[in-house]
Structure 1
Amino acid sequence: MASDLRKTRFVCVSDTHNACPADGAFKLPKGDVLIHAGDLTRQGTFAELRKTFDWIEQADYEVKIVVAGNHDITLDPTFYNEHGLRFHNQNPQEPQACIDLIKKYSSITYLNHESTHVYLKKEDGPRTTFKVFGSPYSPATGLWAFGYPSEHASLLWDQIHLDTDIVITHTPPKYHCDESRHNGSLGCRTLRETLWRVRPSLAICGHVHEGRGAERIMWDLDCLNVKFKESATGYWTDPGLGLGNRKQSHLDLSAKSPAPLNSTESWINAFDVTNLDGPTETPGNRLPIQKSTHSLAWTPATSRPGTSISGESSEGNQFLVLDKASLITAQTQEDRLDAMSSKTVMPEHSASQSRASFEETQSRALEKISQVPEARRRLPLYASLKNGNHSATRGQGGCPLSGRCDLEALAGRGGRKETCVINAAIMASSWPYKFQDNKKYNKPIIVDIDLPVW
């Protein structure tokens, strides 16, 4: 019930690479939870880690959650023992000492490819709860820590529990907030597929500095022919962008916003995409934001897709909705623009009737699941993969009663329809940083969502 939910504010950062508020690189806004999605340092030395964890420890948030990234090389002992001297041949580091250092910061929750339940307990806070998964891994490119080959991706990401509310990964998912200026889409395809199955409220990442921004994904849970399908994606216009702009980078997805999370009808119909003029580029941000002759405002829908909508801009919450079918295979920004140019009208959303029918079958589907032996239901999906027993219906939508869909991911979980992907990279410049003057910084991204009160 709505009365059991309460707005909770997340402040998201990533890829600070030794930068901190005390240096003037960025300012931390107020919030309930601080999340750092990795690349805390440049090369993971003990001194770098101590500086970073010191400012996080001092930050005024009830909960602070941190994962490492590929630059935090000492936090990956296996990698460092093999390659550490390539980075620190003059001053070798002790990985265990670095790991022990982190444990001393009692107010910081450090997640190393693991989950935890969070309970906000302050009397003057929201007193909400959520389950979070955090991981430092990213696809192996070059000689950096926490890398994995593509053939191991399924075993890795299937360890995210399906009841996870917030997913924090250093890598972005493929085609979402992952586009590099020179190297195309760098995200993980398997992680994107896993997000279809889990459908968390937020997927917070970093790694690709130019991908900084936010995208809202509406998942297609009905399609029987295309696996891991997305219905549409909304691209965020950051109100805090621009030199001298004092506005915060704020994204409100709570129930009091005009378009709350998981209420897709309120935002998919509120935009017209008949006039696309191409991407808007800003320093350090290659998010594919599209300009329109209409004001893309968070206002209640007054017309259907394909008709003009105008109105006052609602600060902080602007998205453009695009049909994902023609974009999912786009490799570059140019490919995306070509796909967009052929889409003059947003297709009518016709899944509402079948989705209503889907919701009506949930109790029957759960009853069917209860007939499966408990030991088998508890078997982790990655163990099934390892044993070669993986179902051919993985990632397939439809009605759970039919037996032709991804039963585990869909049954009883029809309320999870949408995920907001947030790339919170603070460092706008790309590696390597040859000169201090070349460093440019983004603002932290503030996200408001509703979570259950415990």
Structure 2
Amino acid sequence: MKNQFTIYCISDTHQRHRELTEKLSSIVNGDILLHAGDFTNYGGTFRSQGGGIDDFNMWLGSLPFKHKLLIFGNHERVLIDDDDLERVKQQFSNATYLNDELVDIDGLKIYGASWKADDGRDRRQLWSKIPLGTQIVITHNPPDGKSHATSDASFDIDKFLMRRILQVKPILSIFGHIHTDYGVWEKDKVTFVNAANMNEEGKALNEPVGFRLEMNDDKLVKLQQL
């Protein structure tokens, strides 16, 4: 069991992932890289051999992190039905794709859930799958917003996800989707991270968000933003 983790968070790269290469390649002793979805533009060349998904997978493999975890955002899920998920999962040879799944990395419990559309399903039941004791939750859906002033933010905040986050109390809740709400804030002893790299079309991407976690058994000793 490790006592210290270096973690970097990215999201909403929208096929511009290679613009982050210099920054992420310079990370020394990176333990975990987390991508919270929307690495394509509505699938882009997602299905084609040698297309966007292959380039993204190759890029992930070039980065100096021991573990790379990712989920799907709305741009991926719109073109992938449930029957396709397992096939697509196999295409990620350089990362672990999480679909409502918990992984344990050296004692750190991380749960990942891909985009949940507002399609009439019981969202409370969907989010209830996040286990108590989870220390990092990755979703594309935003449970909270740094600022609810914009119509984009207020419309897309998932109140049912927020309720579950406040029940589980992870150390980090990592997400994206709302490009204008990038940042880190704390609420009710949970650190929320909107890691969306995309901001306005044509502008330089937002920086990856990094943390150093110091743990004693399964208890947080220190959380430092890098």
TM-score interval for Structure 1 and Structure 2 normalised by the shorter chain: 0.7 to 0.9
The amino acid that maps onto 2:139 is T
Label 1:452 to 1:427 Cα distance change in 2 as closer, same or farther (>3 A). Answer: same
Other-structure match for 1:445: 209
Q: Say whether residues 1:194 and 2:181 are aligned partners.
A: no
Q: 1:8, CA displacement in angstroms? A: 1.1
Other-structure match for 1:137: 115
Label 1:446 to 1:184 Cα distance change in 2 as closer, same or farther (>3 A). Answer: closer
Label 1:101 to 1:155 Cα distance change in 2 as closer, same or farther (>3 A). Answer: closer
Q: Say whether residues 1:38 and 2:37 are aligned partners.
A: yes
Larger proportion of strand: 2
* In structure 1, C-alpha distance between the alignment counterparts of 2:217 and 2:86, rounded to whole Å: 33
Question: Does the CA-based 8 Å contact 2:153-2:181 persist in structure 1?
Answer: no
Other-structure match for 1:420: 191
Question: Does the CA-based 8 Å contact 1:38-1:206 persist in structure 2?
Answer: yes
The amino acid that maps onto 2:108 is F
Q: 1:58, CA displacement in angstroms? A: 1.6
For residues 131-280 of structure 1, the aligned pairs below 5 Å read: 131-138=109-116, 147-149=117-119, 152-174=122-144, 176-177=145-146, 179=148, 181-185=150-154, 186-218=156-188
Question: Does the CA-based 8 Å contact 2:32-2:65 persist in structure 1?
Answer: yes
SS of structure 2 residue aligned to 1:100: helix
Deviations, residues 97-122 of structure 1 (Å, cap 9, x unaligned): x8535414344111012212122xxx
Label 1:159 to 1:75 Cα distance change in 2 as closer, same or farther (>3 A). Answer: farther
Residue of 71, 77, 83 corresponding to 1:67 = 71
* In structure 1, C-alpha distance between the alignment counterparts of 2:88 and 2:122, rounded to whole Å: 30
The amino acid that maps onto 1:208 is I
* In structure 2, C-alpha distance between the alignment counterparts of 1:107 and 1:452, rounded to whole Å: 29
Q: 1:75, CA displacement in angstroms? A: 6.1
Question: Does the CA-based 8 Å contact 1:204-1:422 persist in structure 2?
Answer: yes
Other-structure match for 1:335: none
* In structure 2, C-alpha distance between the alignment counterparts of 1:154 and 1:178, rounded to whole Å: 24
The amino acid that maps onto 2:12 is D
The total of aligned residue pairs comes to 209
* In structure 1, C-alpha distance between the alignment counterparts of 2:149 and 2:70, rounded to whole Å: 24
SS of structure 2 residue aligned to 1:27: helix
SS of structure 2 residue aligned to 1:53: helix
Label 1:441 to 1:13 Cα distance change in 2 as closer, same or farther (>3 A). Answer: same
Q: 1:50, CA displacement in angstroms? A: 1.4
Q: 1:178, CA displacement in angstroms? A: 6.5
Question: Does the CA-based 8 Å contact 2:113-2:140 persist in structure 1?
Answer: yes
* In structure 1, C-alpha distance between the alignment counterparts of 2:99 and 2:129, rounded to whole Å: 12
TM value normalised by structure 2: 0.82
Other-structure match for 2:17: 20
* In structure 2, C-alpha distance between the alignment counterparts of 1:422 and 1:24, rounded to whole Å: 18
Question: Does the CA-based 8 Å contact 1:172-1:178 persist in structure 2?
Answer: no
Q: 1:179, CA displacement in angstroms? A: 4.3
Question: Does the CA-based 8 Å contact 1:36-1:66 persist in structure 2?
Answer: yes
* In structure 1, C-alpha distance between the alignment counterparts of 2:177 and 2:149, rounded to whole Å: 10
The amino acid that maps onto 2:110 is V
Q: 1:26, CA displacement in angstroms? A: 6.5
SS of structure 2 residue aligned to 1:72: helix
Question: Does the CA-based 8 Å contact 2:10-2:208 persist in structure 1?
Answer: yes
Q: Which has the larger radius of gyration?
A: 1
SS of structure 2 residue aligned to 1:449: strand
Deviations, residues 267-319 of structure 1 (Å, cap 9, x unaligned): xxxxxxxxxxxxxxxxxxxxxxxxxxxxxxxxxxxxxxxxxxxxxxxxxxxxx
TM value normalised by structure 1: 0.43
SS of structure 2 residue aligned to 1:71: helix
* In structure 1, C-alpha distance between the alignment counterparts of 2:196 and 2:126, rounded to whole Å: 23
SS of structure 1 residue aligned to 2:65: coil
User: Which runs of 5 or more residues in structure 2 are unaligned?
Assistant: 219-226
The amino acid that maps onto 1:115 is L
* In structure 2, C-alpha distance between the alignment counterparts of 1:24 and 1:6, rounded to whole Å: 28
Question: Does the CA-based 8 Å contact 1:57-1:105 persist in structure 2?
Answer: no
* In structure 1, C-alpha distance between the alignment counterparts of 2:23 and 2:92, rounded to whole Å: 22
Q: CA RMSD in A?
A: 2.6
Q: 1:439, CA displacement in angstroms? A: 3.8
Label 1:172 to 1:76 Cα distance change in 2 as closer, same or farther (>3 A). Answer: same
User: Which runs of 5 or more residues in structure 1 are unaligned?
Assistant: 79-94, 120-128, 139-146, 219-417
